[in-house]
Structure 1
Amino acid sequence: MGKRKLLSRQYSSCWVSTTTSLADIGAKWRVRCTSYLRGHPMKHSNIKAWFGLLYFVACAGTLLASLVGVAIGPSRLAWAGAGIASAPFIFLWMRAIQGGKSAPRGVWPALLRLVSISGLLLSATAVSRGSGTPAIAALAGLIAIGYVVFDLWYSRFGRPTNPQLRPGQKLPVVSARDMSGTEISTADLEGTPALLMFFRGNWCPFCTAQIRQLARRYRELNDRGVRLVFVSPQPADFTRRVADSLDVAIEFWVDSDCSAARGLGLLQQDGVPVGLRGRYGRDTVLPTAILLDADGRVIYCDETDNYRVRPRPEVFLEVFRSHGI
Structure 2
Amino acid sequence: MSLTEILKAHADQSATKYPEVVKLIMSGAIDELSASELTTKALKTGDAFPVFNLPNAKGVEVSSKTLLEQGPLIVAFYRGGWCPYCNIELRALQNALPEFKNRGAQLVAISPEVPDNSLTTVEKNNLEFEVLTDKNNDFARSLNLAYQLPEDLVALYANRFKIDLNKSQQNDNNELPISATYVIDPSGKITYHFLEEDYKLRADPKAILEVL
TM-score range (shorter-chain normalised) is: 0.7 to 0.9
* TM-score, length-scaled by structure 2: 0.76
Distance, in Å, in 2 between the alignment partners of 1:263 and 1:175 is 14
SS of 2:39 mapped into structure 1: coil
Give the percent of matched residue pairs that are identical in Structure 1 and Structure 2: 23
TM-score by length of structure 1 reads 0.52
Unaligned runs of 5+ in 1: 1-95, 117-139, 321-325
Q: Are 2:188 and 1:188 equivalent residues in the alignment?
A: no
Are residues 295 and 188 of structure 1, via their aligned partners in 2, closer, same or farther at CA, if it must alter by over 3 Å? same
Structure 1, residues 81-125: CA drift from partner, whole Å, max 9, x if none? xxxxxxxxxxxxxxx9xxx931249xx97xx98x89xxxxxxxxx
Q: Which segments of structure 1 move beyond 4 Å, counting only runs of 4 or more?
A: none
1:142-163 Cα distance to aligned partner (Å, 9 max, x none):
x33653x256423443143345
SS in 2 for 1:273: helix
The structure in which a higher percent of residues are helix is 1
Q: 2:28 aligns with which of 149, 153, 157?
A: 153
The yes-or-no answer on 1:301 pairing with 2:199 is no
Q: What are the superposed Cα offsets for residues 160-187 of structure 1, whole Å, 9 maximum, x if unpaired?
A: 3345522111102333222332333433
Of residues 57, 82, 86, the one that matches 1:203 is: 82
How far, CA to CA, are the matches of 1:101 and 1:237 in structure 2? 28
Alpha-carbon distance in structure 2 between the residues aligned to 1:277 and 1:319: 34
Aligned-partner residue type, residue 215 of structure 1: Q
Inter-CA distance 151–183: structure 2 relative to 1 (3 Å threshold): closer
Measure how far apart 1:286 and its partner are. 1.6
Q: Is residue 107–residue 130 contact of structure 2 (8 Å, CA) maintained in 1? A: yes
Q: Tell me which residue corresponds to 1:103.
A: 8
Distance 1:144 1:262, change over 3 A: closer
The answer for the alignment partner of 1:169 in structure 2 is 47
* Aligned with 1:229 (options 90, 95, 108): 108
Letter in 1 for 2:54: A
RMSD (CA atoms) = 3.1
Change (3 A) 1:226 1:213: same
Q: State how many pairs are aligned.
A: 192
The residue number in structure 2 matching 1:290 is 182
Which protein has the larger Cα radius of gyration, Structure 1 or Structure 2?
Answer: 1
- Which ranges in structure 2 are unaligned for 5 or more consecutive residues? 159-163
Q: Return the alpha-carbon distance in structure 2 between the equivalents of residues 290 and 231 of structure 1.
A: 11
Contact 1:174 1:185 in 2 (8 A): yes
Q: Does the CA-based 8 Å contact 1:174-1:259 persist in structure 2?
A: no
Q: Which has the higher strand share?
A: 2
- Alignment match, 1:179: 57
Higher RCO structure, 1 or 2 (CA under 8 Å, sep 6+): 2
Q: Which position in structure 1 is the counterpart of 2:132?
A: 253
- The whole-number CA distance in structure 1 between the counterparts of 2:131 and 2:26 is 30
Is 2:202 the counterpart of 1:310?
Answer: yes
Pick closer, same or farther for the CA change 1:102–1:273 going to 2, 3 Å: farther
d(CA) in 2 for partners of 1:232, 1:146: 25
The SS at the match of 1:173 is: coil
